[in-house]
Amino acid sequence: MPYIDNILLANMPRRGYLFVENNNKKNFALEGLPLNRYNPYFYTMPDTYTQLYIHFVFAVKYREATIKPEWEERLHKYITGIIQNNVHKLIAINSATDHIHILVGLNPKQSISDLMRLVKGDSSEFINKENLAKRKFLWQEGYGAFSNSRSQIDGVVKYILNQKKHHLKKNFRDEYLEILKDYGVEYDEKYVFQELLD
């Protein structure tokens, strides 16, 4: 079952979701929203504003269809917890049997590579510890991370939530190559998720 943070979308300022670094932690609010509820991110650098939406995509190792409908929602919620505990905002998440899509409002305090290391490592450990998969579960080593503008968010969310329907007609490898082309990412097809080949 797909997950989307309706609270975020319902209360998102028109300028987008902003992470604010401000020395003054008193009487500061973003678009009338209390900082301690919607934007609880305080750092030392004064008056720094960022708007970073990242669409993450990564696959199960060897493209084995091991994400099952009966436990995928538990996986989504667990990954949501990892993202939120690292002070990012989960906007949407959904998976097919062999891969997952995640849209995040990124906190620049943490690098993309560090976040992916935690998400993939901790979630695979969770799956194996709970014996959710029939054999040892592993994510493939790489990942895709694609930035989006505020105007693209609705489209990306709809795309993520419609994953099941989307993959009735297209496999993951073809989808991923299409995403790379759409974002203008240069690649050598023979090296893209090489270990996913049957």
Q: What is the pLDDT of residues 102-149, one digit of tens each?
A: 999 999 999 999 999 999 999 999 999 999 998 899 998 889 999 999
Q: What are phi and psi of 88, to 5 degrees?
A: -115, 175
Long-range contacts of 3-8 (CB under 8 A, 24+ apart): 3/73, 3/76, 3/77, 3/80, 3/90, 3/92, 3/93, 3/94, 4/91, 4/92, 4/93, 4/157, 4/161, 5/89, 5/90, 5/91, 5/92, 8/38, 8/89, 8/91, 8/105
**How far apart, in whole angstroms, are the C-alpha atoms of residue 105 and residue 43?**
17
Domain positions in the chain are 3-50, 53-196
Q: What residues does 105 pair with on adjacent strands? A: 53, 89
Q: Which of 162, 8, 153, 20 is nearest to 80 (CA)?
A: 8
Fold exhibited by the domain 53-196: Alpha-Beta Plaits (3.30.70)
Q: What is the pLDDT of residues 160-183, one digit of tens each?
A: 998 888 787 788 877 888 888 888
pTM of the shown model: 0.73
Tell me which range, 16-20, 49-53, 71-75, 141-145, is most confidently predicted by mean pLDDT: 71-75
